[in-house]
Structure 1
């Protein structure tokens, strides 16, 4: 199987990001191809860093060169390919799938992707608070409120909060302020990273906080899983749920790298 054949079969073209857990599980159900190259590395050419398999530039499903402007991202991509053993497991290649999507889809649909991030801000997870129990209410206030306050100071606008599942319509001025800051995300790669951070956390607010260095990745991940962790503390976590969360964390880490370095 050639590089092109593999990417056409297991890549993730298109601007819209599917559920990463479902994507990984679907990939795992496909027969895994044999490793068809001896060595993965990085070649610098024409101002870009190319992922090279046996010295030849790998390509996306749309046959674009798998090449990026960041050496850190290129080396992380090559490391994914190099870690593959006798069989190539796309479930273990979240960064490759995300970069494929950025190059083949997001690059041609940047405005639509930015608009989707703004739409998420209209029903952001951090704006929906529990009414009870008291311990969960306190934890949400302690963790979420400082992040929200920092973002409000950054964008110069306020978010409305709601309790439970009652929808809170955010002011148009707030969404316009979010849009201005989403508009500063500099590249299709960084935008693809931002989009996946958003979908994995359910929060454009956490995405903007990460993009602007207001929180670190662990803080963003923990804030996004605050409710889930509260329930785990009461009921425990089963093995399948833990595995799904581990898959999401790998996807999240890949997205954070693109957001920071793309």
Structure 2
């Protein structure tokens, strides 16, 4: 759609901080006033609106998309979102290792085992590891502390986690970022360990490179959204 406003600004709104366009508050698709947890996030949201020129391009407004997702799709259904996120423990990338490439397997051990050790020490959950292709069952009875952890997240933190876990293919990597053990860039790199190894061996085509760039930017956007909500 074409830009329909002259000025975008951060401003106090009902429920906290928000964004106004020519003095009118931005609303979510569900009709609620868009609210931000911190003035810093409100300023960043307003900046994305201000940066739009002839056309308003939602894909160029990642922080707004995350804020809208939080308010309309995560906050009203926290329990369901938490249950969906917990499912990634069952298929965590870090538990699936190469069984036919010793070099890759060694890299996986060096990069991923310290995180699994941290996860076990921090949350009392030790995940099983396999070098096979078939799914490996995990101890679902040990998930109680993980659910408690997610239940303690703010809406913004749960939103970030619920997007990070599928993007990384890993509950552990997502939690490491939320806990401050990893940066967004480190989380992305660790999630792409297998792909990066294959690129070293065989090269990378243009389409794959574009996908990896888009994913890297997604991690950065989520990391920034999280930081602004905590500032």
Please give the TM-score of this superposition, normalised by the length of structure 1: 0.82
Other structure's SS at 1:163 match: coil
Q: Name 2:62's counterpart in structure 1.
A: 94
| Pairs within 5 Å for 1:14-93 | 33-46=1-14, 48-93=16-61
What are structure 2's unaligned runs of at least 5 residues?
none
Cα RMSD, aligned residues only: 1.6
Partners of 1:45 and 1:98 in 2: CA distance: 19
Other structure's SS at 2:204 match: coil
Other structure's SS at 2:126 match: coil
Q: Does 1:215 align with 2:182?
A: yes
**Displacement, 1:47?**
5.8
| 8 Å Cα contact 1:193/1:254 also seen in 2 | no
Identify the match of residue 85 of structure 2 among 114, 117, 120: 117
Partners of 1:235 and 1:216 in 2: CA distance: 28
Partners of 1:61 and 1:119 in 2: CA distance: 28
Q: Name 2:218's counterpart in structure 1.
A: 251
Partners of 2:101 and 2:37 in 1: CA distance: 48
Identify the match of residue 147 of structure 1 among 94, 100, 115: 115
Partners of 2:171 and 2:226 in 1: CA distance: 13
Larger deviation, residues 130-139 vs 41-50: 41-50
Larger deviation, residues 58-67 vs 79-88: 79-88
What are structure 1's unaligned runs of at least 5 residues?
1-32
Identify the match of residue 177 of structure 1 among 145, 154, 159: 145
> How many residue pairs get matched?
229
Q: Does 1:164 align with 2:132?
A: yes
**Displacement, 1:135?**
1.4
Other structure's SS at 1:105 match: helix
Q: Structure 1, residues 1-41: CA drift from partner, whole Å, max 9, x if none?
A: xxxxxxxxxxxxxxxxxxxxxxxxxxxxxxxx211122222
